[in-house]
A and B are shown apart, each in its own frame.
Chain A
């Protein structure tokens, strides 16, 4: 659905040309050290910054040829947290910008475990709670605006959605994202810092370093301990390897 044709940025933050496809039904993880260009790549994929090199097309049409409103029916973004300015309730925040039916909002609030917080002000939430609100809002946008007969569930871009979640929440969120990719035929792109989450739940992984995509493919191919140790300048040890999957990694003490 989303295709990158040697797309990149010349101006800083620089991004070397990337060629590739993002397909519905797949969960793609973008990993890499701090400052490697993960969020920059996400702004390219969302169309927030137009590519200075190459092109990014959605359903065969360049992103900047879409009107903002129609593009919003096809892809949503869950950015890294910005502090909200005013005290919206959780329920209003989830619904913001998509005029959804209240049943959809109620379902998403339940799925994201926000039922007890639904009428609370977003200014009084913890980081993890706010993160779940923003994921629910992104999903609400895609589901409420989905056209009848759309070929797939749309594109969901998430920038470090698990950074403030406890491990139970992380597991449930990643399982839900994978389920959404499979059942709703969504294309999901997720910037992740936790390599084990990427290895366990992603269908594909792109590894970024210094504004370049240095590896792309299945997790077990990309997430090699030796390569990751070099890229992250970390001492890693592999704790074992599930059948057909990527190694479980831990830091050496």
Chain B
């Protein structure tokens, strides 16, 4: 990989930042138009833009596709953005909210809700959403309680180990729940667990609209601090970083956003790992560009993957989490093999 043309990335080339971000946003816009137009009921993009669609077309578009697009954009941005922030926080390109146990903690809480308290109608959705939210928050509190006992450089290591323990625990808990679940619940669990945007209704999209943007904003504000943290905690402190505050911001934003995403769509794998990793190869490691680019890239990838998921096997639908893992896993292995000596 050549490093020429990447100089001065940190702060001195705002025009380059703008160019990259506008490019990604443009690609996202095209993907949104394509996604809005394709499906069982094909709608021409031109007709959509000029408002010349019939009643049925409008209903499909308004009730099904638009909330799904909104959810896709927000969930994709949140997963990829929090992946980028976590990788910066741990100074490790393999870190991810799943690594910390946030996703699996939220997942376990949602599974508990599905098996033990399942209601019907709006109560089901909001209960599920609240459960995921509380699950991620609970993991956040436990992980930080553990990390708070060890200061300095031990803290990151403790965080990772705590995440490992929580992942194991959540896996065992999930198994136990599957064991006691009824057939109907089991089917629901496994469908949800594969990760899909197919439950997208306006209620879900609005919940995401309310809670994801503040979390994204908090992550974007942490970009400069994440850059400084790359110097190591002692040096970053001397360079003006309030590291405990930065960690708090990143972990709280990530756990809230990811908890919500998991509750709404299940665990969609590899976005948080893959998108920042690929963008870092292209743009370099500076977070002021990497974080917003990852958010746009994650939204783009999830919208494209979701459109493929619902059009490849029409009228049936492949869970998008399955698709991202199927595509992302091998590509990620390829990246690791190609660059193994360096990170």
**Chain A residues proximal to chain B, CB less than 8 Å:** 43, 46-48, 68-69, 71-73, 75-79, 82, 84-89, 91-92, 95-99, 102, 118-121, 123-124, 134, 137, 141, 157
- Find chain A residues with CB under 8 A from B342 CB: 87, 123-124
Candidates A43, A76, A84, A119; contact of B230 at CB < 8 Å: A84
Closest to B233 in A: A48
A82-B232, A85-B93, A88-B284 are known contacts. Are A95 and B238 too (CB-CB below 8 A)? no
Report the stretch among B2-10, B120-128, B316-324 that lies at the interface: B2-10
Contact B227 A89 (CB under 8 A): no
**Could you list some 23 contacts between A and B, CB below 8 A?**
A47-B237, A47-B238, A48-B234, A77-B234, A77-B237, A78-B235, A79-B232, A82-B231, A86-B230, A86-B280, A87-B342, A87-B343, A88-B284, A89-B3, A89-B284, A91-B7, A92-B7, A92-B8, A92-B284, A95-B11, A97-B231, A119-B3, A137-B231
Name the distance in Å between A77's Cβ and chain B's nearest Cβ: 4
Candidates B4, B10, B93, B343; contact of A95 at CB < 8 Å: B10
Name the distance in Å between A248's Cβ and chain B's nearest Cβ: 33
Name the distance in Å between B87's Cβ and chain A's nearest Cβ: 8
Give CA–CA (A76, B12) in the complex, Å: 22
Contact B4 A96 (CB under 8 A): no
Candidates B7, B90, B233; contact of A89 at CB < 8 Å: B7
Contact B93 A89 (CB under 8 A): no
Name the distance in Å between A116's Cβ and chain B's nearest Cβ: 13
Name the distance in Å between B14's Cβ and chain A's nearest Cβ: 12
Extra A-B contacts (4), CB below 8 Å, given A78-B235, A120-B3: A92-B8, A96-B228, A102-B8, A141-B239
- Find chain B residues with CB under 8 A from A121 CB: 3
> Secondary structure at chain A's binding surface: helix, strand, loop or mixed?
mixed
- Find chain B residues with CB under 8 A from A79 CB: 231-232, 234-235
- Per-position contact with A for B68-97: 1 when CB-CB < 8 Å, else 0? 000000000000000000000011110000
A85-B92, A86-B280 are known contacts. Are A46 and B237 too (CB-CB below 8 A)? yes
Contact B3 A69 (CB under 8 A): no
**In the complex, chain B residues 204-237 whose Cβ is within 8 Å of any chain A Cβ:** 227-228, 230-237
Candidates A86, A102, A120, A124; contact of B93 at CB < 8 Å: A86
Give CA–CA (A92, B231) in the complex, Å: 12
**In the complex, chain B residues 238-280 whose Cβ is within 8 Å of any chain A Cβ:** 238-242, 280
Give CA–CA (A84, B91) in the complex, Å: 8
- Find chain B residues with CB under 8 A from A48 CB: 233-234, 237-238
Candidates B3, B230, B280; contact of A96 at CB < 8 Å: B230
Most chain A beta-carbon contacts within 10 A, residue among B8, B93, B233, B237 = B237
A79-B234, A88-B230, A123-B342 are known contacts. Are A97 and B7 too (CB-CB below 8 A)? no
Closest to A159 in B: B234
- Per-position contact with A for B331-343: 1 when CB-CB < 8 Å, else 0? 0000000000011
Name the distance in Å between A41's Cβ and chain B's nearest Cβ: 13
Give CA–CA (A68, B246) in the complex, Å: 12
Contact B240 A68 (CB under 8 A): yes
Contact A43 B234 (CB under 8 A): yes
Candidates B10, B11, B12, B241; contact of A68 at CB < 8 Å: B241
Contact B240 A97 (CB under 8 A): yes
- Find chain A residues with CB under 8 A from B6 CB: 89, 119
Name the distance in Å between B337's Cβ and chain A's nearest Cβ: 18
- Find chain A residues with CB under 8 A from B4 CB: 119
Closest to B228 in A: A97
Task: Tell yes or no: B286 within 8 A of A by CB.
Answer: yes
Give CA–CA (A75, B3) in the complex, Å: 31
The 6 closest A-B pairs by CB, nearest first: A72-B240, A85-B91, A86-B285, A77-B238, A82-B232, A97-B239
Contact A99 B343 (CB under 8 A): no
Give CA–CA (A76, B238) in the complex, Å: 6
Name the distance in Å between A160's Cβ and chain B's nearest Cβ: 13
Name the distance in Å between B282's Cβ and chain A's nearest Cβ: 12
Contact B12 A72 (CB under 8 A): no
**In the complex, chain B residues 4-50 whose Cβ is within 8 Å of any chain A Cβ:** 4, 6-12
Name the distance in Å between B225's Cβ and chain A's nearest Cβ: 10
- Find chain B residues with CB under 8 A from A89 CB: 3, 6-7, 9, 284
Candidates A46, A85, A120; contact of B238 at CB < 8 Å: A46
Give CA–CA (A89, B3) in the complex, Å: 8
Contact A69 B232 (CB under 8 A): no
Name the distance in Å between A65's Cβ and chain B's nearest Cβ: 14
